[in-house]
Chain A
């Protein structure tokens, strides 16, 4: 079983739509959780951290459910510029070794 699993998509949505991505992780001792964004053939960039209490940043909301080992990302009012691959990332503990999911591809169309 992969350490971090994501639906690869692609999710094809119109501008203005709300879209949700899910991610599960296998190591119950994992300590920190993040969503990164990766544009085609570019480096990944931190989008937001994920907390059990939920975390909102503008149109983006991230949620963590430790009991179910499940992480979510909600994007409201999708923009064309949101088209990218969204990477679920977990730090299992100790050092800052990032464990990446394979990513979920989002394509927002006019």
Chain B
């Protein structure tokens, strides 16, 4: 059973370009979370999605950032017009259906995408 997959693992963008980060959850998982880790800092929650629904986006910056988890295909975190401050590691995690309602289900993390903005 493959774990959470993220691609690309490393992404370099110039200021003003768009970045698209992809996350394929573990098989059977329908909940996806995105976290950002700035250099020398802890992980910060960004957004929680289920298939075709954004459940909690309280950690998403108000502008330039968006996320989706379509019925088919991976979850996408999109950053428009990137700036140097967007340089970070972006981790995706997934958990099984029922997470939250029945208590804690472990979130399994992907290897992350390291975004560098030049």
Check if A and B associate.
yes
Please give, as numbers and ranges, the residues of chain B lying within 8 Å of A95 by CB-CB distance.
48, 55-56, 99-100
- CB contacts between A and B, total, < 8 Å: 58
B99 x A96 contact (CB < 8 A): yes
Please give, as numbers and ranges, the residues of chain A lying within 8 Å of B114 by CB-CB distance.
41
Q: How far is the CB of B71 from chain A (nearest CB, A)?
A: 21
B42 x A101 contact (CB < 8 A): yes
A71–B66 alpha-carbon span in the complex (Å)? 34
The answer to whether B91 has its CB under 8 Å from any CB of chain A is yes
Residue from the set B42, B100, B111, B112 with the largest chain A CB neighbour count within 10 Å? B42
Closest residue of B by beta carbon distance from A42: B111
Within 8 A of A (CB), among B4-53: 31, 33, 35, 41-45, 48
Partner pick for A32 among B42, B104, B110, CB 8 A cutoff: B104
Interface size range of chain B in the complex: 20 to 34
For chain A, the count of residues having a C-beta within 8 Å of the partner chain is 21
Closest residue of A by beta carbon distance from B4: A43
B109 x A43 contact (CB < 8 A): yes
Please give, as numbers and ranges, the residues of chain A lying within 8 Å of B105 by CB-CB distance.
96
Please give, as numbers and ranges, the residues of chain A lying within 8 Å of B100 by CB-CB distance.
94-96
Residues of B within 8 A of A (CB): 31, 33, 35, 41-45, 48, 55-56, 58-59, 89, 91, 93, 95, 99-100, 103-107, 109-112, 114
6 nearest interchain CB pairs?
A43-B109, A102-B42, A100-B42, A100-B43, A95-B100, A32-B104
